[in-house]
């Protein structure tokens, strides 16, 4: 499994969710990671046994503690997940310094940049 950079927004939520999923715990974090499982796997993270119908289960879990705030909390958690996914995607395309060798990070190869003039 790839290491998660703590510099990425929402990294602590994703890391906790991955840990909780491995333990089989149904927590807010594990449900958020279950929601993002397809994209997280595409980023190279190992998401073991995500929960089915995680969106509904997350909303129910949030509404147990505060029904009036469940919708807002749900949306905030999903935004944090999306922020992590977008930042991780950008990090995957970040060019390495020449001293680091290849222009690959997280196993994603950068596409060559062509200018409009060279076409």
Give 33-86 as a DSSP string: HHHTHHHHHHTT----SPPTTHHHHHHHHHHHH-GGGHHHHHHHHHHHHHHHHH
Q: Whole-number mean pLDDT of the chain?
A: 82
pLDDT band, residue 110 (cuts 50/70/90): very low
Please identify which residue in the block is written with the tokens 């190279």: 44
77 pLDDT higher than 90: yes
Q: Are 54 and 31 in contact (CB under 8 A)?
A: yes
Q: Over range 80-100, report the average pLDDT.
A: 76
Kindly report the pTM of this predicted structure. 0.75
Closest CA to 3 of 15, 16, 13: 15
Cβ contacts of 70 within 8 Å, gap of 6 or more: 59, 62, 63
58 pLDDT higher than 70: yes
Q: Over range 94-116, report the average pLDDT.
A: 47
């Amino acid at each position: 499994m790839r290491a998660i950079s703590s510099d990425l927004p929402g990294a602590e939520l994703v890391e906790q969710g991955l840990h909780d999923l491995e333990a089989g715990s149904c927590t807010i974090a594990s449900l958020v990671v279950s929601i993002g499982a397809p994209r997280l796997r595409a980023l190279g993270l190992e998401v073991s046994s995500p929960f089915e119908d995680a969106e509904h289960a997350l909303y129910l879990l949030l509404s147990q503690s505060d029904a009036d705030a469940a919708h807002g909390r749900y949306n905030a958690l999903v935004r944090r997940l999306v922020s992590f996914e977008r930042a991780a995607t950008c990090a995957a395309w970040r060019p390495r310094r020449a001293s680091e060798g290849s222009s690959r990070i997280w196993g994603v190869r950068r596409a060559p940049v062509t200018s409009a003039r060279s076409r």
